[in-house]
Structures are given as structure tokens and as C-alpha cells.
């Protein structure tokens, strides 16, 4: 078994309204960052898992995203996978 | 002025307790993903901004993180910056 670190990035689909992002944008404008044109807020999840090999780990992380981490109706995800020592 | 897309990743410092991550880990275990050893939950924020050049954009995004996006007491952040057309 090899240990992997998966970094999962979940964000709302571009067509979905993002009130959290709009609130952050408003806050940044209030702080004087008027050059900010748009903000989108999402989730960043780090998962450490043990797996036989890279392709098995990729399949597992993809299934985790599909079943729990992302809502496929309104969100999209991507991830990268890094082999780690411990 | 050039347009940039900043991708900001905010996560809890390693020593800080992460109940959201523990909940996700429990959910993954319940779904049968017993190979998951640890989960850490964080934020992923995309910011589109206009700036004179790359170094100015970097300085601005770093200041946004310091002042609003991350809580320096319990969180750490990193970001990358990409030049975009529109």
C-alpha cells in the first residue's frame, strides 16, 4: 500500500449564483481593493489515503467527490494526487 | 492594466483542530472508504482582478489574504496567479 495526499478543489459551476463570493467581493471593495472584478468561493479538501497504486487512488478520490464531497447539480471538482512518505 | 486570476487556498494550520474535516472523514468511512486516514477542510477562492503587473497583483492578493480571506491566528494560505485574457 502506498500513501497519497489528494488535494480536492470544489467550486460552484460558473452559471450558479454565488452569494458567498459576492459577499467577499463586497468586503474587499470596502477595504479598498476596487480592482477586484469577481470572486468565487469554493472548498479545498485535503485527503490522506492508502491505496494500491496511483490509478486506484484516483478512482477512489473521484468516487468520494461524486458521492460526498461535491454536489454534481451545482458544483464541479478537480483534484491532484501526490505520493507521500508517511 | 492586465487581468489576473488568483487562486487562493486557505487551510487550518496543522495544529488546529478541524471538526469539519473529521466529519467528512466519518462520512467517507460510513460510505466504505476505510482507506482514508485523514481529512482537512479548507477554502478555495478565485479572485479576478486588474493590476499593473504581476508583482503588484501578487502584493495585492497577499494583502487581501492577510486582511480578510485568512485568519492568521488559525489559518495559513497560499495562492497562484494566472494572467487571463478578459
The ipTM, to two decimals, is 0.90
Chain A contact set for B45 (CB, 8 A): 21, 24, 39-42
Q: Which residue of A has its CA nearest to B42?
A: A44
For the residues A37-44, what does the mean pLDDT come to?
97
Which of the four pLDDT bands, split at 50, 70 and 90, describes residue B86?
low
Give the pLDDT score at A86: 65
Residues B39, A8: contact at Cβ < 8 Å? Answer: no
Do B45 and A47 make contact, defined as CB atoms within 8 angstroms?
A: no
Chain B contact set for A35 (CB, 8 A): 49-51, 60
For B45, the closest of A41, A60, A68 (CB atoms) is A41
* CB neighbours of residue A58 within 10 Å: 16
Do A36 and B43 make contact, defined as CB atoms within 8 angstroms?
A: no
For the residues A51-72, what does the mean pLDDT come to?
96
A39 touches chain B (CB under 8 A): yes
User: By three-state DSSP, how is residue B84 classified?
Assistant: strand
Indicate the burial class of A11 (C-beta count within 10 angstroms; 0-12, 13-18, 19 or more). Answer: buried
Chain B contact set for A19 (CB, 8 A): none
**Chain segment B25-67, per-residue pLDDT in tens:** 999 999 999 999 999 999 999 999 999 999 999 999 999 999 9
Separation CA A34–CA A53 (nearest Å)? 47
Interface of B with A in 42-71 (CB under 8 A): 42-51, 60, 63-64, 67-69
Pick the CATH number of B2-84 from 3.40.50.300, 3.30.1280.10, 3.30.1360.10, 3.40.640.10: 3.30.1280.10
Residue B83: which region, alpha, beta or left (left: phi > 0; alpha: psi -120 to 50)? beta
Do B42 and A45 make contact, defined as CB atoms within 8 angstroms?
A: yes
Give the pLDDT score at B82: 97
Give me the helices (H) in A1-86, please.
Answer: 19-30, 54-64
Task: Kindly tell me if the per-residue pLDDT of A67 is higher than 80.
Answer: yes
Query: Considering the domain A2-17+43-84 in this protein, what is its CATH number?
Result: 3.30.1280.10
Task: Kindly tell me if the per-residue pLDDT of A61 is higher than 90.
Answer: yes
Read off the pTM: 0.91
A28 touches chain B (CB under 8 A): yes
Give the pLDDT score at A34: 96
B30 touches chain A (CB under 8 A): no
* CB neighbours of residue A7 within 10 Å: 19
Amino acid at each position: 500500500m502506498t500513501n497519497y495526499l489528494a488535494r480536492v478543489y470544489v467550486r460552484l459551476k460558473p452559471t450558479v449564483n454565488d452569494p458567498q463570493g459576492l459577499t467577499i467581493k463586497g468586503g474587499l471593495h470596502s477595504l479598498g481593493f476596487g480592482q477586484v472584478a469577481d470572486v468565487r468561493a469554493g472548498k479545498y479538501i485535503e485527503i490522506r489515503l492508502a491505496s494500491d497504486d496511483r490509478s486506484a487512488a484516483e478512482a477512489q478520490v473521484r468516487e468520494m467527490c461524486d458521492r460526498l464531497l461535491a454536489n454534481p447539480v451545482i458544483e464541479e471538482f478537480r483534484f491532484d494526487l501526490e505520493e507521500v512518505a508517511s
